């Protein structure tokens, strides 16, 4: 069994309140959960208006399938218009 972890740090431009930022993060979280069946959480910067760090975890029995899924999730998050990704970290655990 393989566990894939993605950690994105980014900015949410244009947010003027925590409520606005949480709405954007919630939207991304719900879309990722629905499309990829992954666990998603905001893991840092909960009290910053325009910063976010999002952790995503998925599990697979096939390493190739896991890498493919992580690539697809990475592209999806980078293409999400409301968040500008600054850094990405990826780890696969066995």
- Quick one: pLDDT at residue 5? 98
In this structure, are residues 6 and 73 in contact, taking their beta carbons and an 8 Å threshold?
Answer: yes
| Cα-based distances in Å from 2 to 63, 67, 80, 94 | 6, 10, 26, 5
Can you identify the CATH homologous superfamily of domain 2-93? TT1725-like (3.30.70.1120)
Work out the angle between the directed axes of helices 63-79 and 18-36 (0-180°, nearest 10): 150
Q: How far apart (Å, rounded) are the C-alpha atoms in residues 71 and 84?
A: 17
Q: Which helix H or strand E contains 77, and what residues bound it?
A: helix 63-79
Segment-wise mean pLDDT, segments of 10 residues, the chain, 94 residues: 96 91 94 96 91 96 95 96 95 94
**CB atoms near residue 69 (< 10 Å):** 19
Query: pTM for this one?
Result: 0.89
Dmax over CA atoms of the chain, in Å, equals: 43
């Amino acid at each position: 069994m393989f566990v894939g972890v993605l950690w994105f740090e980014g900015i949410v431009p244009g947010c003027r309140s925590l409520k606005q930022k949480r709405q954007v993060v919630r939207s991304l979280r719900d879309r990722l959960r629905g499309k990829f069946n992954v666990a998603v959480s905001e893991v840092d910067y909960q009290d910053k208006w325009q910063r976010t760090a999002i952790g995503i975890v998925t599990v697979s029995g096939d390493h190739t399938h896991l890498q493919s899924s992580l690539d697809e999730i990475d592209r999806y998050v980078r293409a999400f218009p409301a968040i500008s990704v600054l850094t990405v970290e990826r780890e696969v655990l066995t």
